[in-house]
Amino acid sequence: MGLIVGLEEKLPSGFLLTTVEKLAGYMRKNSLWPATFGLACCAIEMMAAGAGRYDLARFGMEVFRASPRQADLMIVAGRVSNKMAPVVRQIYDQMAAPKWTIAMGACASSGGMINNYAIVQGVDHVIPVDIYLPGCPPRPEMLMDAILKLHEQIGNEKLGPNREKIIKEVEAAALAAKPTHQLKGLLA
Ligand code: SF4
């Protein structure tokens, strides 16, 4: 409500003009409900973020939903094993659209230090990711910062033809990018 508080006095006629895009973004970003699930140690930090000391309720987000059909934010907290990958995908598919994802921690973002046959090397192999949160584990403050950055991103999201244009541009850039197997790492 930061936009509105104090503004009423400056608008004696009671009219406020905005775009549908901005209004939808404002409502979406302020009504995010995360899905309830955690995969590994990072989930402990996620739980701490929801508890009394850090109090995720300040952002209206304490209602972790038990059903993916009532959730629109997936926080992938912890490493994703090959065994769990189809389950993560199924939960994502069952969530209401539009939906967003945060890869919490090094393991969820890239496999982290667990580079072996059992672990998916980044959850973006399974679902789209909006925010990558580094750290092992990231602290609750970092998760809250990632959530606020996601709010910002959602608030500025485009709709309709504007959105389609951006999707096409992103796809073209991805196709033009150098394949990862050709990238040289720090040790190459
Ligand atoms: S990033 Fe660290 S804390 Fe998080 S799941 Fe991996 S090992 Fe655990």
pLDDT tens digits, one per residue of 86-138? 999 999 999 988 899 999 999 999 999 999 999 999 999 999 999 999 999 99
Q: Is the CB of 79 under 6 A from ligand 1?
A: yes
124 CB-side CA count, 13 A: 13
> Token pair 């598919």 is at which residue?
93
Please report, as a single letter, which amino acid is at residue 109. Answer: S
| Residue 75 CA to ligand 1 centre (angstroms) | 13
127 CB-side CA count, 13 A: 29
Distance CA 177, CA 127 (A): 20
Of 116, 123, 136, the residue with max ligand 1 atoms within 8 A of its CB, to mutate for a pocket test, comes to 136
Q: Is the CB of 44 under 6 A from ligand 1?
A: no
Q: Is the CB of 122 under 6 A from ligand 1?
A: no
Nearest to 155 by CA among 17, 34, 31: 31
Whether the pLDDT of residue 162 is over 90: the answer is no
Q: What pLDDT does residue 1 have? A: 47
Bond preceding residue 137 cis, omega within 30 of 0 = yes
Q: pLDDT tens digit string along 134-156?
A: 999 999 999 999 999 999 999 88
Q: Is the CB of 74 under 6 A from ligand 1?
A: no
Distance CA 42, CA 123 (A): 14
Atom 7 (ligand 1) nearest CA: 136
Q: Is the CB of 107 under 6 A from ligand 1?
A: yes
For residue 127, give both structure tokens: 């679902």
Atom 2 (ligand 1) nearest CA: 136
- Which of 45-49, 63-67, 87-91, 102-106 has the lowest average pLDDT? 63-67
Atom 1 (ligand 1) nearest CA: 136
158 pLDDT band, cuts 50/70/90, is confident
Which residues are CB-neighbours of 100 under 8 A, at least 6 positions away?
A: 32, 72, 73, 74, 130, 131, 150, 154
41 CB-side CA count, 13 A: 9
Q: What pLDDT does residue 159 have? A: 84
Which residues are CB-neighbours of 15 under 8 A, at least 6 positions away?
A: none
Q: What's the mean pLDDT when you consider all of the chain?
A: 88
Atom 6 (ligand 1) nearest CA: 107
Distance CA 29, CA 157 (A): 10
Nearest to 155 by CA among 71, 63, 32: 32
pTM, two decimals, is 0.82
| Residue 110 CA to ligand 1 centre (angstroms) | 11
Atom 3 (ligand 1) nearest CA: 137
6 pLDDT band, cuts 50/70/90, is low
Task: Specify the higher pLDDT residue, 62 or 30.
Answer: 30
